[in-house]
């Protein structure tokens, strides 16, 4: 995986990240000689308890807290913009307690969605990624979740086809998010041929646009299909979200 100009190193964690916004980075990739491992919980647990689980897991693996590079959350329902900011304040405070920020920037990639069935009663940890020693043939990385927001911080006006869920509107939303995925993947120095998992989060039908808007641009990764989570993005008004990863090891903890 080639070094990119915008990616920043997390020396203590043996990975690099694409800067994003205060609550999360845009994606992470393992440094040379290391790989990203992805872990999924058998059942979500409250997110603060989840960080305690991560701490125990990393200790058992002989890895420092700094090796944590990605978080997946599940929430009871989408937040308002203000509610999302309030949640993120507590989340960022915990990352600061763990000394994970890099010169004030948050390097941890994140996805946070609200399932339509089986949602937890409070924001909960669903999965996480971390680095371990061991080079792989292909680069390993996690691309953070992104919804159909044109610009961050501009409210509903920035949402592509806000308030629309027609097949045409969903296709446009999906195409916009795919462009974000492509840019982040490229920013991490990866290629679609390195992707092992494509996740889609929406409560709207995906069949009308899946083949031509997602799988065709995904190229070699299309052979793996997609995982569709009937879920809503974390902020009210968004209808569609995606994330990606390319790993050699998947765990269930």
Tell me the pLDDT tens digit for each residue of 85-140. Answer: 999 999 999 999 999 999 999 999 999 999 999 999 999 999 999 999 999 999 99
The encoded tokens of residue 84 equal: 């999302």
Q: What is the DSSP string of 123-138?
A: -EEEEEEEEEE---SS
Q: How many CB atoms lie within 10 A of CB 62?
A: 9
Q: What is the DSSP string of 216-237?
A: HHHGGGGGG--EEE-EE-SBTT
Model's pTM, two decimal places? 0.95
Question: Would you state the pLDDT for residue 61?
Answer: 98
Q: H/E element holding 94?
A: helix 81-97
What pLDDT does residue 5 have? Answer: 55
CATH of domain 8-252: 3.30.1330.40
pLDDT, residue 153, reads 53
Angstrom distance (rounded) from CA 19 to CA 25: 5
Confidence (pLDDT) at 84? 93
CA 172 from chain centre, in angstroms, equals: 21
pLDDT in the model for residue 156: 82
List the chain residues with pLDDT less than 70: 1-5, 152-154
Q: Where are the domains of the chain?
A: 8-252
How many Cβ atoms are within 10 Å of 33's Cβ, its own excluded? 10
**83 CB neighbour count, 10 Å cutoff:** 15
Under DSSP, the state recorded for 34 is E
Residue 120, both tokens: 């937890």
Contact at 8 Å (CB) between 71 and 125? yes
């Amino acid at each position: 995986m080639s070094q990119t100009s915008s990616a920043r190193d997390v020396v203590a964690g043996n990975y690099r990240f694409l800067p994003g916004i205060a609550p999360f980075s845009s994606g992470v990739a393992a440094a040379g000689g290391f790989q990203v491992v992805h872990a999924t919980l058998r059942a979500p647990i409250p997110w603060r308890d989840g960080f305690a689980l991560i701490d125990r897991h990393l200790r058992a693996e002989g890895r420092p807290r700094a090796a944590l590079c990605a978080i997946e959350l599940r929430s009871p329902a989408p937040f308002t913009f203000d509610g999302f900011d309030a949640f993120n304040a507590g989340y960022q405070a915990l990352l600061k307690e763990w000394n994970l920020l890099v010169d004030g920037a948050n390097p941890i990639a994140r996805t946070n969605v609200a399932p339509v069935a089986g949602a937890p009663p409070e924001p909960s940890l669903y999965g996480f990624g971390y680095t371990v020693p061991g080079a792989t043939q292909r680069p390993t990385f996690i691309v953070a979740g992104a919804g159909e927001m044109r610009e961050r911080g501009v409210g509903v006006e920035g949402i592509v086809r806000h308030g629309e869920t027609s097949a045409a509107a969903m296709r446009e939303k999906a195409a916009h998010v795919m462009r974000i995925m492509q840019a982040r993947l490229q920013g991490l120095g990866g290629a679609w041929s390195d992707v092992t998992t494509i996740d889609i989060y929406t409560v709207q039908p995906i069949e009308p646009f899946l083949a031509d808007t997602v799988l065709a641009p995904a190229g070699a990764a299309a052979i793996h299909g997609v995982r569709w989570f009937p879920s809503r993005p974390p902020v009210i008004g968004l209808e569609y979200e995606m994330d990606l990863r390319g790993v050699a090891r998947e765990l269930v903890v």
